[in-house]
């Protein structure tokens, strides 16, 4: 009987421990404080920029799927990806659809302290944008990826962690929907 109890306790303790540190339980804006609007891009990169603008203004370079790193969004269909680095050395990937920027990936360095970095970033984003609209897990290539998502009418910010990385993904919702619709039409023909 005691063996069953300890196995059951272990099964309950892990999800309960994850729940207790869940990003949803982190503090956000104080009473009466309004969340900031989500940015239409990030820094000098804004939704709708062309590849030429990315190359000249941000010194981004075209990413070939066959190069050493490729690109982070492995599920991206028909990718048109450019990459650069931030002032502090993080890789930034710029995803275009019909020669217009619609998605940004900021790849934070592989880090053994990934859960702490993720929780810290969730707190920082909650302090700016208020509570996240949702947090969920998904399995991609056998890895569990945790998502914390903020969105407004224009932009979605999806903070992800898993596989030793923290990804900050900004998406132009209208262009992403247009690309998804075009890909669905293409598949149905």
pTM above 0.75, yes or no: yes
Whether the CB-CB separation of 115 and 162 falls below 8 Å is answered with no
Looking at the DSSP bridge assignments, the partners of residue 120 are none
Q: Write down the pLDDT at residue 133.
A: 96
pLDDT at 11: 33
Q: What is the pLDDT of residues 84-108, one digit of tens each?
A: 988 888 889 999 999 999 999 998 8
Query: Positive or negative, the Cα torsion across 149, 151, 154, 157?
Result: negative
State both tokens at 166. Answer: 């923290």
pLDDT of residue 23: 41
Q: Where does 88-134 have alpha helices with state H?
A: 114-129
Residue 134 forms beta bridges with which residues? Answer: 149
Least confident piece of the model among 9-13, 58-62, 144-148: 9-13
Could you state, in order of their start, the residue ranges of all structural domains in the chain? 40-188
Alpha-carbon gap, residue 101 to 77, rounded angstroms = 15
Q: Which residues pair with 155 in a beta bridge?
A: 172
Find how far residue 180's CA is from the centre of its chain.
Answer: 18
Q: Which of 156, 182, 162 is nearest to 47 (CA)?
A: 156
Q: Taking Cα atoms as reference points, which of 15, 28, 17 lies closest to residue 148?
A: 28
Q: What is the pLDDT of residues 104-151, one digit of tens each?
A: 999 886 665 678 889 999 999 999 999 999 999 999 888 899 999 999
């Amino acid at each position: 009987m005691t063996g069953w109890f300890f196995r059951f306790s272990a099964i309950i303790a892990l999800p309960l421990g994850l729940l207790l540190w869940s990003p949803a339980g982190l503090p956000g804006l104080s009473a009466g404080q309004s969340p900031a609007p989500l940015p239409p891009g990030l820094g000098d990169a804004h939704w709708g920029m062309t590849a030429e603008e990315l190359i000249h203004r941000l010194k981004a370079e075209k990413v070939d799927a066959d190069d050493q790193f490729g690109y982070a969004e492995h599920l991206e269909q028909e990718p048109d990806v450019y990459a650069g680095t931030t002032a502090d050395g993080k890789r930034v990937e710029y995803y275009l659809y019909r020669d217009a920027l619609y998605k940004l990936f900021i790849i934070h360095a592989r880090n053994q302290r990934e859960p702490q970095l993720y929780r810290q970033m969730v707190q920082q984003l909650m302090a700016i944008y208020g509570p996240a609209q949702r947090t969920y897990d998904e399995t991609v290539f056998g890895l569990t990826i945790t998502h914390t998502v903020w969105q407004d009418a224009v932009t979605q910010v999806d903070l992800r962690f898993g596989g030793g990385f923290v990804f900050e993904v900004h998406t132009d919702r209208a262009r992403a929907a247009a690309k998804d619709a075009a890909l669905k039409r293409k598949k149905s023909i």
